[in-house]
Amino acid sequence: MKIYTGKGDSGKTGLFSGERVSKTHPRIEAYGDLDELNSVIGALLTSLEEGGCDQPDTLRLIQSDLLHLGGWLAVSPDSDRANKLEPFDKKKIRFLEDAIDRLQLLLPELKEFVMPGGRASSSWAHIARSVCRRVERRAVALREGAGPKEQEDPNLQAALVYLNRLSDYLFVLARWCNFRHGMTDAVWDK
């Protein structure tokens, strides 16, 4: 399979549903930022030290969920291809909530604003969190600029909730990456 086709040389690209759109189309922006988030999570994975850590498995499942979500962002809701995608359901959201709850049980209570930093893995988790927030904003803009059918799409709504929980998970993970190495969070010195 060739990597380059030349089809995008004019500034247009194809959606999974077949339409050709500008590379600045809100749908392309959303799943482009989602791709960036998945790449940053890959960097986070490489920074996690081995041994006694179940987070790499959790992060790989999240990466898989993000590819699934990318499919939903890359298809128009009226397309026949939307019917071929597996629904983006609330089980994925519950998975993140459970992961957050498990990590929070291990962490000291948060009483101040945390400054990003500490261990490399913590810093990567904070970068992933901030990119995730951008993806969430892009998905909200996509929904707000869409027609009524897409605004009511349960898959897009579940994806928005998932992205919101994912940024929470990445924040808690950043704290956990420092904590498990005996580092306290750097806090904002007001």
Which pLDDT belongs to residue 51? 41
Q: What single letter denotes the amino acid at residue 18? A: G
Q: In this structure, what are the phi and psi dihedrals at residue 14, rounded to the nearest 5 degrees?
A: -100, 135
Least confident range of 56-70, 99-113, 118-132, 176-190:
176-190
pTM of the model: 0.89
What length does the chain have?
190
pLDDT of residue 49: 65
Residue 122 amino acid letter: S
Q: Residue 170 in contact with residue 129, Cβ under 8 Å?
A: yes
185 with 178: CB under 8 angstroms? yes
Domain ranges of the chain: 20-76+85-179
Q: Which residues contact 189 (CB under 8 A, 6 or more apart)?
A: none
Taking alpha carbons only, the member of 173, 96, 187 closest to residue 128 is 173
Spelled out in words, what is the top-level CATH class assigned to the domain 20-76+85-179?
mainly alpha
How far apart, in Å, do the first and last CA atoms of the chain sit?
55
The residues, any chain, with a CB within 8 Å of residue 157's CB and separated by 6 or more, are 143
pLDDT digit string, tens, across residues 80-106: 887 888 888 889 999 999 999 999 999
CB 33 within 8 A of CB 66: no
Q: Nearest-CA neighbor of 128 among 48, 26, 39?
A: 39
On the question of pLDDT at 52 being above 60, the answer is no
Cβ–Cβ under 8 Å, residues 99 and 58: yes
